[in-house]
């Protein structure tokens, strides 16, 4: 079956690589001195996710997940807004989507190619596929929970055809 | 000098414009485009001296925009600012006539390295 032949993300990528990519992105995009710290904190009750898909030898998505309030704070930091300026929902979705996009672009560059990157999406994260096809870094930014998940596409999206096992 | 900043993300356009200023290019006129199609149109109407463009956008991608510009006879200086900087993409960009490709994340030094010599 195709799914068994495809390499899982854990064979292609480790958490240290994801962290090193985040280490470059946070100061450049979120702001000087800002960091994604790979130390988990209690997950929020309500979450929002932004993600981009990667399609190629490895199919899946790079997902950034946090509480809505953290997403808003990230957007304020990315846009360098100061009170009384407030960011609107569109800016929050845009900023979170761009963070996912830049994470995705950089993660794509260390995966086997050729592959293509989808446009950023926001909402409830896509469901994960095989348990061994997930590379997740549970961390925090300014003490708030933030998770980066690199997850394989669900099998239902990629049917392996009508082959009957021997 | 007029610079056309093209990205479907308003947030990223703001970051690009901010980084241009931080890199010292703060006395240029900036115009914005929301995708490749808009950029193609604005090269005609705004007559920019330089186009900075994202790669992956709805309607028309950055590379499609560059190819359409060259096919229409426009030789406007064009550089990419994109989240992907693989050797294949850099080669494709160069073959289509792009002057440079800045990969995100970037900072003002990345901009200076790419833009010195392009922006007077």
In angstroms, the separation between the Cα of residue A38 and the nearest Cα of chain B is 19
**Cα(A115)–Cα(B84) distance, integer angstroms:** 11
Greatest distance between any 2 Cα atoms in chain A: 67
Residue B112 lies in a domain: no
Closest of A128, A162, A166 to residue A147, by C-alpha: A128
Residues in chain A with CB shorter than 8 Å from the CB of B106 are 28
Using a 10 angstrom Cβ sphere, with 0-12 exposed, 13-18 middle and 19 or more buried, the burial of residue A86 is exposed
The predicted pLDDT at position A81 comes to 84
Contact B105 A25 (CB under 8 A): yes
pLDDT exceeds cutoff 70 at A162: no
Residue numbers of A between 42 and 81 with CB closer than 8 Å to B = 75, 78-80
Q: What is the DSSP letter of B116?
A: B
Q: At what angle do helices A68-79 and A89-108 cross, to 10 degrees?
A: 80
B58 touches chain A (CB under 8 A): yes
Q: How many domains are there within chain B?
A: 1
The predicted pLDDT at position A156 comes to 55
Token representation of residue A9: 């993300």
Report the CATH number at residue B102.
3.40.50.2300
Instruction: List pLDDT tens digits, range A19-43.
Output: 999 999 999 999 999 999 999 999 9
Count other C-beta atoms under 10 Å from residue B1's C-beta: 11
Question: Average pLDDT, stretch A12-17?
Answer: 94
SS3 A67: coil
CB under 8 Å to A116, separation ≥6 — which residues?
A: A54, A55, A56
β-pairing verdict for B2-6 and B29-33: parallel
- Most A CBs within 10 A among B104, B107, B109, B110, hence the mutation to make, goes to B104
CB A31 within 8 A of CB A80: yes
B85 touches chain A (CB under 8 A): yes
A87 touches chain B (CB under 8 A): no
The predicted pLDDT at position A54 comes to 96
Instruction: List pLDDT tens digits, range A73-110.
Output: 999 999 988 777 889 999 999 999 999 999 999 999 99
The whole model's pTM is what? Answer: 0.90
The predicted pLDDT at position B119 comes to 80
pLDDT exceeds cutoff 60 at A163: no
Buried b / exposed e across A90-121, counting CB within 10 Å, b at 16+?
ebbbbbbbbbbbbbbbbbbbebebebebeebb
CB A150 within 8 A of CB A135: yes
In which domain, by residue range, is B70 found?
2-47+57-106
The predicted pLDDT at position A82 comes to 79
Residue B24 lies in a domain: yes
Instruction: List pLDDT tens digits, range B13-43.
Output: 999 999 999 999 989 999 999 999 999 999 9
**Cα(A158)–Cα(A166) distance, integer angstroms:** 21
Residues in chain A with CB shorter than 8 Å from the CB of B14 are 79
Count other C-beta atoms under 10 Å from residue A137's C-beta: 20
B89 touches chain A (CB under 8 A): no
B82 touches chain A (CB under 8 A): yes
Residue B119 lies in a domain: no
Residue B116 lies in a domain: no
Instruction: List pLDDT tens digits, range B45-91.
Output: 999 999 999 999 999 999 999 999 999 999 999 999 999 888 889 99
Domain ranges of chain A: 2-153
A2-153: CATH topology is Chemotaxis protein chec (3.40.1550)
């Amino acid at each position: 079956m195709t799914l068994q032949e495809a390499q899982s993300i854990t064979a292609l990528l480790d958490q240290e690589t994801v962290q090193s990519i985040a280490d470059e992105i946070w100061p450049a995009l979120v702001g000087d001195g800002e960091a994604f710290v790979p130390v988990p904190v209690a997950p929020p009750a309500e979450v929002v996710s932004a993600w981009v898909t990667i399609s190629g030898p490895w199919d899946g998505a790079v997902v950034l997940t946090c509480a809505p309030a953290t997403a808003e704070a990230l957007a304020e930091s990315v846009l360098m807004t100061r009170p009384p300026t407030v960011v609107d929902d569109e800016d929050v979705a845009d900023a979170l989507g761009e963070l996912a996009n830049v994470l995705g672009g950089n993660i794509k560059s260390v995966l086997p190619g050729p592959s293509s990157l989808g446009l950023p999406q926001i909402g409830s994260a896509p469901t994960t596929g095989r348990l061994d096809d997930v590379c997740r870094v549970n961390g925090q930014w300014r003490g708030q929970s933030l998770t980066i998940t690199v997850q394989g596409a669900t099998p239902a999206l990629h049917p392996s055809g009508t082959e009957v096992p021997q | 000098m007029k610079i056309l900043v093209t990205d479907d993300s308003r947030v990223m356009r703001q970051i690009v414009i901010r980084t241009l200023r931080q890199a010292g290019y703060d006395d240029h006129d900036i115009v914005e485009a929301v995708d490749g199609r808009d950029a193609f149109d604005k090269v005609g109407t705004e007559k920019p001296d330089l186009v900075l463009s994202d790669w992956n956008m709805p309607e028309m991608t950055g590379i499609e925009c560059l190819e359409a510009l060259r096919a229409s006879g426009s030789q406007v200086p064009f550089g990419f600012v994109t989240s992907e900087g693989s050797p294949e993409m850099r080669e494709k960009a160069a073959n289509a006539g792009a002057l440079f490709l800045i990969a995100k994340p970037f900072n003002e030094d990345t901009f200076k390295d790419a833009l010195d010599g392009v922006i007077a």
